[in-house]
Structures are given as structure tokens and as C-alpha cells.
Structure 1
Amino acid sequence: MSKIKPFLRWAGGKTWLTKHIEEFLPTEFNNYFEPFIGGGAIFLYLKSKNYIKNKSYLSDSNQDLINTYRIIKSNPDALIKSLQKFKNTEEYYYKIRGTLFDNKIENASKFIYLNKTSYNGIYRVNSKGEYNVPYGHRKTKDLFEFDNILKISELFEKTYFSVTDFKKKCYETKENDFIFLDPPYTVAHENNGFIQYNQSLFSWKNQIELAQILKVLEQKKTHFILTNASHKSIDELYQTGNKKILARASNIGGTGAKRTNYNEIIISNATK
């Protein structure tokens, strides 16, 4: 069986962390929560390896993303049939980008298509909420990887999706549940700069709220793993759990872009 992988290209995706995640996992846990599901690399890895045995609650603030997950779970064949009509050309890209669909399956296929063919797979909208990333000129033979989509759909048994504020999902956890937290990074790695775009997605105020939530999770005996940029302000803010620094390669950049290693901080109370 070929390896199951995320069906989306996702800025800040955690595929790199799957090589290290076992050392942070609890020995056993009840239900799994992930309130910043994004590309879903950690969930897909844990589920495919049978670490997740009970219910999974996956959520995000991005409605189009959650709709796409729901369609993959409920109607992958119709989604694939829709995607087969899409063409990887610049003219067609801008036509689809500017088209409004009122069908959930077509909206899901549009979301995947734009993600796969846009510049770097970045998800960015303007002040009107319109996706405005330019065409990426990607020449990929197997653009959508339909076999992978079908395998992912099979993993979604006992998995529930919602468009929900992260705080609400965190407070829904109970003793011996496990929550993986991967918020949009508010500060750039190991420098003094704020990531301006992410400020609209996840502000410093949100970081403070999340740091307080970790204390509540600790008191409830909920297992947690949180990832963040390795930065002095993050280290000082989060005072709950055990911390470890891991290095990873940058996964964002166009042709010829400089690739560098970044340090990430992993905060967890879920060690074996």
C-alpha cells in the first residue's frame, strides 16, 4: 500500500513532523482533536498508523477547507469526476478562480484545483474574501492524485468536521483526550518580525488565549502537543508542558528560492 499523504499543498504543513511525532504521543488516548486542521498531515499520519482508534474532531476557521474535507468523506467519487474536467492552463485557472459555484462538490473541486495549480499553494484572500493567488505554472503529471484522495476518504470513519473557533474545540476536550494544536504562526522564526498576513488569521491576542488554554488542558488532564515558531516571545509566553526544539527545512518558495532550516518549538504534556 502506498503512503497516504495530504491532498493539499499547505503553507506551514507538518509533514516534516511525522518523522518525530511518536516521541511526543501519549501511550494511549480516547478521542482526537485538531482545531487547526489545515493540510491534515498529522491526523492522516496518526490515523493511517492506527494511533487514533476512537472519534476524531477536526475543525478550522476556513469554511472552504472544511467543506472540501466533508466532500472527500461523503462523496469522493463525485469529487473526482468533477476534478477530471479541470485543465491546468493559465486561462482556465483565472476562469475558475473568478467563478462562483453554488454546489458543494464543485466548490470542493475548485478549492483543490486552485490549491494545486496556484503559486506555492498559498491560501490568500483579499478584503472582499476573494481568492487572489496568481497561477503557478506547475507542470505536474498526476496533479490531483485521485488514488490518494480515495484512500484518505476511507480514513474518515468516526471523523467529524466543523467550522469552529479553536477555543470552543479546546474546551470540548475531556480527560485522556488528545489535542494537536498547530496555529498560524504569529512571529517569524527567531527574529523580531511579525508575520503580517497571519496577524489577520491568528493574532498575538490569540496566542495569549492559547497559552492560557494549555493551562486548562493540563488541569483537565487532556494530552496536548502544540507547535510554534522558535522565538523568544513564544518561549516566554508558553509556560505549560515540556518544550523541545526541532529543526526543519523551509517548504515555501518559488523556483530558485533560498531554502533554509528553521527551528520549531514543540510543547507537549503527552510524552510517553
Structure 2
Amino acid sequence: MNTFLPRKIDKVLVPPIKCQGIKTKLINFIAANIRWDGAGRWIEPFLGSGVVLFNIRPERALVSDTNKHIIRFYQEIQSGIIDEIIVRDYLQEHGVRLFEKGKDYYYEMRYNFNQSQDDSLLFLFLNRASFNGLMRFNSKGEFNVPFNHKPERFRKGYITKIANQIGNIRKIIIDHDWKFEVADWEETISLSNDKDFVYLDPPYIGRHTDYFNSWKEEDALKLAIKTKALPAGFALSMWKENKYRQNEHLKNAWDGLVMKEFKHFYHVGPTESLRNHMTEVLAIKPEYAVKTELMAS
């Protein structure tokens, strides 16, 4: 088998969108433990920030999320509606206003976003000015993360950093055959075949679940059943345990897979209980794992 994966990612690219559970620290762990020839499509039904996609960089990909704002943002980069120059100019303009008006301007911008629901630049502004890197929506689909209390947030260096992130992913996106869709996970994985590889990073049961919509235990069980029946290779990112508890769902629903463990520390979250060491697992369909070390029972 030719090997697209495993491989080492020399420089991990950080995407412009921030959200809880971002896998930046796990990129090389993921890339080193999956065995796939890259002949088919890389399929991600829970795209989130896009950090795994942008670093794995498959030639072809089908990626989706129910969060229409994330998908629209990357679609507009792909189509050329948004680029690094447009982002820099926008953040410079509104960064000055934020500095002058403080939290009142942030909440004005948040209100405008929730009224329009279709402004990708405003979405980026809120994402980078909101509290603690959270992305959270209420039951009405309204962005409801409070201000981060940093009116000076958009300094020149910070704007340059974000603009460079946009430029980096824009070059990658236009150089690859990738499709971004607003879609349910079940619809997306149903399109997979035996040459594809499906990477799953669903919301975590028992942790923050209002990233965009709800995620119940029944959803998680259905995902496990549907995924294990796929003809494609697959890997699941899932938390195993922290100092408070263990994830019984992982043991009960994802048995028979190769389990790779990674201990790390989450910095994103509004409370101390979300800032602790955690053991995360990459659960891999056995024939797609680099080496069988520990099987779930």
C-alpha cells in the first residue's frame, strides 16, 4: 500500500477560526497513527475549526458541519470572496472602533451578527474578540459568547497574524479538490466508499455541547453504529478520562478498535473544570491503524 499516512507534519498550521476542543496539539499524534493510502477522499462530518483538514491536506476531501457560519467562512475563502487583504482591512477598521468603544461595540457587533446571520467577516471578528476562544450558540442559533474584556485585542501584530492564517489556508484550499458543505454527519458519511477515510471529531458527551447544536447520548450511539458499518476506513477522536471521571461511552460503543492514547491539557473553557489534564483517544478501524497496541474491550 502506498502511504499518504502515516507521516510527520513538520509545521502545524493554525487556522483562523477558534473553537473549543481544537486539535492543534494532536495533529502529529493523528497523522502518525493512521494508515491510509490517500486514494479516496478524506471525509470529515464534524469540521469544526478545520485544523485537522488543513494539516493532513488530502488531495480530495468532503467536509461538513452543521455550523453554517464555519462552512460559509471557508466557502468564501475558497471562492475568493474573502482573502487576507480583505480580512486585514476589516479587522483594522473594526479593531479601532472596538478600542474606542470597548464592550459596547462588541455587543453591538454581536447583535448585528445575530440579526444578519450571514456575515463571515463579522463572524471572524466575534470569534477572535469573544471570551476565551469559545464558540457557542443558544437554542435560537444566536452567538452568545461574552466579550473578552480586551478592547485593545486587534493590535497590528494580532491582525497580521490572523491575516497570515487566512493567506496560508487560502493557498492550501485553492490547491486541493475540497468540498465544504453544511450537512448532517449521517448524510456526509453515507457518501463514503472503501477508498475513503472518515475522520470523526464529534461533540464530547458530558462536556460542552452547545457549540452549535445539541449532542445527546442517542446521537453518539447512532454515530458509533453507523460508523462501524462503513466500508471506509475511519478514526474517532474522543476523550477517555480526566481527573474527575472516565468516558463509559467510549468503552461501550466503540469496542473492537485500536485505541491510541494522548495526554494533554485543554486551555479553552470558561471554568477551571474545563482546564484540566485529559487523556484523549484516537480509536481506529484496525486495518487502518499503524500498529495495534491496545484493543478496546
Same fold (TM over 0.5): yes
Residue of structure 1 in register with 2:294 after alignment: none
Q: 2: CA distance between counterparts of 1:246 and 1:103?
A: 37
Q: Tell me the amino acid that sits aligned with residue 166 of structure 2.
A: I
Q: Are residues 174 and 114 of structure 1, via their aligned partners in 2, closer, same or farther at CA, if it must alter by over 3 Å?
A: same
Q: 2: CA distance between counterparts of 1:256 and 1:203?
A: 24
- Give unmatched runs, 5+ long, in structure 1: 189-194
Secondary structure at the counterpart of residue 169 of structure 2: helix
Tell me whether 1:136 sits opposite 2:148 in the alignment. yes
Q: Tell me the amino acid that sits aligned with residue 182 of structure 2.
A: V
Using the aligned pairs only, state the percent identity.
Answer: 25
Which aligned pairs between 1:81-230 and structure 2 lie closer than 5 A?
Answer: 81-87=89-95, 88=98, 89-100=102-113, 104=118, 107-138=119-150, 139-140=152-153, 141=155, 142-144=157-159, 145-156=162-173, 157-188=176-207, 197=210, 200-217=213-230, 220=231, 222-230=232-240
Aligned length: 256
Q: 2: CA distance between counterparts of 1:13 and 1:160?
A: 21
Secondary structure at the counterpart of residue 245 of structure 1: strand
Residue of structure 2 in register with 1:5 after alignment: 14
Higher mean C-alpha deviation, range 208-217 or range 109-118: 208-217
Q: Tell me the amino acid that sits aligned with residue 271 of structure 1.
A: A
CA drift of 1:136 comes to 0.4
Q: 1: CA distance between counterparts of 2:280 and 2:12?
A: 25
Q: Are residues 169 and 196 of structure 1, via their aligned partners in 2, closer, same or farther at CA, if it must alter by over 3 Å?
A: closer
Residue of structure 2 in register with 1:59 after alignment: 64
Question: Which of 72, 77, 82 is equivalent to 2:77?
Answer: 72
CA drift of 1:112 comes to 0.7
Q: 2: CA distance between counterparts of 1:203 and 1:36?
A: 15
RMSD value, Cα: 2.6
Whether the aligned pair in 1 keeps the contact of 2:67 and 2:212 (CA below 8 Å) is no
Residue of structure 2 in register with 1:192 after alignment: none
Q: 2: CA distance between counterparts of 1:61 and 1:250?
A: 24
Q: 2: CA distance between counterparts of 1:84 and 1:271?
A: 46
Q: 2: CA distance between counterparts of 1:155 and 1:143?
A: 22
Q: 1: CA distance between counterparts of 2:135 and 2:148?
A: 13
Higher mean C-alpha deviation, range 92-101 or range 110-119: 92-101
Q: 1: CA distance between counterparts of 2:78 and 2:131?
A: 27
CA drift of 1:164 comes to 0.4
Question: Which of 25, 31, 37 is equivalent to 2:47?
Answer: 37
Q: Tell me the amino acid that sits aligned with residue 227 of structure 2.
A: L
TM-score by length of 2: 0.78
Q: Are residues 254 and 2 of structure 1, via their aligned partners in 2, closer, same or farther at CA, if it must alter by over 3 Å?
A: same
Q: 2: CA distance between counterparts of 1:5 and 1:196?
A: 23
Q: Tell me the amino acid that sits aligned with residue 251 of structure 1.
A: H
Q: 2: CA distance between counterparts of 1:199 and 1:122?
A: 11
Q: Are residues 170 and 199 of structure 1, via their aligned partners in 2, closer, same or farther at CA, if it must alter by over 3 Å?
A: same
- Give unmatched runs, 5+ long, in structure 2: 1-9, 241-246, 291-297
Secondary structure at the counterpart of residue 225 of structure 1: strand
CA drift of 1:85 comes to 2.3
